[in-house]
Amino acid sequence: MLNNKRRGLLIILSSPSGAGKSTLSRRLIKWDTSLSFSVSSTTRTMRSGEENGKDYFFVSDEEFSKQVRLGEMLEHAQVFGCSYGSPKGPVEAAIDDGQDVLFDIDWQGAQQISNSALQKHVLSIFILPPSIIELERRLKGRGQDTPEIITKRMQKSWDEISHWSGYDYVLINDDLDATEEKLKTIVTTERLRRSQQPGLVGHVRALQSEFESKNDI
C-alpha cells in the first residue's frame, strides 16, 4: 500500500494592513476546510465582531509574557504597540498530522518562523496592494478603524512593504478573485514539494527492490 501521507505546510500570509490578507485567508479556508488557521495571542483589545479564541486569544500583558517565558510561542513580536504571537503547540500537532496551517502575521513573525527548525515546511506569501491610494481606500472602506488608527496603519505600511523580498511569493492583490486563484495554485503546487512528502522515500525503496528482483540484481 502506498503511504504518501503529506507533512503539513506552514503557510504565512503577510501584507500591510488593509491589503487583503484576512479576506484571502478566509477564502482559502473556505476553499479547503482541512486548512487550519493559527489563532494568535494578542494583548490588543478586542474589536467589535471579533471572537475570543476564533480571531485571537485576547490575553493580558502578564499572560502573554508568561507564554513567551515558557517557550510556548513559535514567534512573537510587537505590532502597533501591542504584543502578538503564534502559539506553538497547535501548529506542531497539525503539521505532524499532515494538516496545513495558515498564519496571518507580520514580517517579524514570518522571519522568525522562516529561520526556525520548521523552515523547510514554510511557504511564505506577501500581499501587495495595487497602490498606496487603494490601500487607504480599503482601510477606510473596511470601516473598522478610527481615522487616527487608519493614519497609524498607513504610516506603518511602508515598514511592512519594505520586507516584501524576503518572501517565497509576492502577489499584487488587485482583482480579488484573480489573487485568490493564484493563491490556490501556489498552495496546490507547494503541497507537492519533496520535503512535504515523507512517504516518498519508502515508495522509492519499494520501487528499487521491485526493480532489483525483476532484474535479478
25 binds ligand 5GP (CB under 6 A): no
8 within 8 A of 34, measured Cβ to Cβ: no
Q: Which does 138 bind (CB under 5 to 8 A by kind): ligand 5GP, ligand ADP, none?
A: ligand ADP
Residue 132 binding ligand ADP, by CB under 6 A: no
Position 38 contacts ligand ADP (CB under 6 A): no
How many helices and strands, by DSSP H and E, does the chain display? 8, 9
Question: How many residues appear in the chain?
Answer: 217
Binds ligand 5GP by CB under 6 A, chosen from 17, 67, 124, 196: 17
Place of cell 523580498: 165
Task: Pick the binder of ligand ADP from 7, 8, 9, 17 (CB under 6 A).
Answer: 17
CA distances from 151 to 134, 136, 146, 155 (A): 14, 9, 9, 6
Q: Residues 150-189: x/- map of binding to ligand 5GP (CB under 6 A)?
A: ----------------------------------------
CA atoms within 13 Å, Cβ hemisphere of 197: 14
Contacts with ligand 5GP by CB under 6 A lie at 17, 40, 44, 75, 77, 79-80, 84-86, 104-106, 108-109
